[in-house]
Amino acid sequence: MIVVAPLYFMFDAIGKAYPPPINHPDLYYGFAGVTLSWQIAFLIIASDPVRLRPVIPAAVLEKLLYCGALLVLYGQGRITPMQVGLVIPDGLLGVLFVISYIKTKASLQTASRAPQLTSR
């Protein structure tokens, strides 16, 4: 969120740093909004990964699509090595989501075998 939230205030600066200027503000702010929303969703998933396990594949897909897009753009020479460096934290988070998905399956199996308490 620390990286994404400032995008709302950097529209012109990004166009100057990486010409040409952005000419589709709707897509730019749409990207910023969706990205920020997903960062919040990731925090919510982290608060209870066992209960929110069904959402984890979507989180993995988000990371995979973003990292894949950056790698393709880099391969086409359309972004700089510094820009492709953004793959590292997102790729790591994607791997951690996969690990979390695998580990939560074990937690679900353990919970389903535990004796159920009933009230009388």
Asked if residue 73 and residue 39 are part of one domain, the reply reads no
Q: What is the pLDDT of residue 18?
A: 83
| H/E segment holding residue 120 | none
34 shares a domain with 58: no
> Is residue 117 a part of any domain in this protein?
no
Q: Is there a single domain that holds both residue 64 and residue 30?
A: no
54 compared with 118, residue with greater pLDDT: 54
Do 65 and 108 share a domain, yes or no? yes
Residue 28 forms part of a structural domain = yes
Contact 6, 14 (CB under 8 A): no
3 state DSSP class of 51: coil
In which domain, by residue range, is 59 found? 51-112
Judge if 37 and 60 occupy the same domain: no
pLDDT tens column, 55-109: 999 999 999 999 999 999 999 999 999 989 989 999 999 999 999 999 999 777 7
pLDDT at residue 118, rounded to an integer: 60
Instruction: For 63-84, give the DSSP string.
Output: HHHHHHHHHHHHHTT-S-HHHH
Kindly report the pTM of this predicted structure.
0.79
* CA pair distance 109, 32, nearest whole angstrom: 38
Q: 99 with 63, same domain?
A: yes
